[in-house]
Structure 1
Amino acid sequence: MDSTTLRELQAPLKATYRADPSAARTALAARADYRDAGITCTVDGWAGPVRAGLHAATGGDGSDACSGDMLLQALLACAGVTLRSVAAALGIPLRSASLAADGFFDARGTLGVDRDAPIGVQHIVVTVDLDCDADDGALDRLARTTEKYCVVGQSLREPARFVVHRSGGPAQRMDHEG
């Protein structure tokens, strides 16, 4: 898609959101359940159900998806779409791209072995290898703009709030404080 087509596609949306900011508030949702035995949780995804389980570093056998890997996959999906949109808007033709997201987690934290060990995926780096003719300045702008507008990347800045309740009972709010 070229920049003109992208602008034509997005122009009416931008006009609507400028006129009515509340129209821009877009709901997202995911659903999961415990349909399988064991320490697993099955998430309903676009390509079908994905069963997540314990990582081998926390007692799993490696047969289930790792939620940390799924987080990096969601980040790559968002970063890839965002980068491609930004490249189109900036008029940077891309012949091909290869994207990777890498990070690590300290199993001591999630297992409660060391209260000072961090919990969560740390030091995430998204690396994009592009086949294009853009100069270093354009690539830097592309990286900064992609990071700024990547919804999943920006969402990682604020922890999720957890609410747990018994079916039919009142919700118990669990505030997460970093």
Structure 2
Amino acid sequence: MKRITKTIAAIAAVVTTIGLAPLSASAFGGACPPPTGRNYNKMGMELGLSDKQKQDIREICTKSRAQNEPLIRQIATERRALRTLIHADSVDEAAIRAQSGKVAAIMANLAVQHAQTGHQVRALLTPEQAQKFKEIQAKRDSRMDDMGNYGARHHGQHRQHR
């Protein structure tokens, strides 16, 4: 039961991240929230994006959001069905696994769309901007790794730091 709960929590975390991630964390890697705000401007400044690049990125992200919207609605519906199964009076493992598979399949489709969007955006970058972006992403990934280790520390399973 713990493994199912952890799996569902991981799926929920990914879906939440997809829906709420700031542009600096994900636009060039995939998801495109509205290209506004402090994080978007910060990323643009760090990369030295031209006005044309910013406009092109806005257009790509607008198209991406329109394409992703049906999948995001579908994930919400399927996750609601999964939660209903999880909180039912009896545990139907086969149904929970089948429903989890539906959620995972939709997430896989969304991940592919995010990757395609990220590829389109990265294609707009100069080689120098692309390198700088990789560095920014590496720092972000490192922070995410550290945050992800909270559960291990919380449960007494300390990771050895290199």
TM-score (norm 1): 0.24
Write 1 or 2 for the structure with the bigger share of strand: 1
RCO comparison, higher one (Cα < 8 Å, 6+)? 2
Q: In terms of Rg, which structure is larger?
A: 1
Write 1 or 2 for the structure with the bigger share of helix: 2
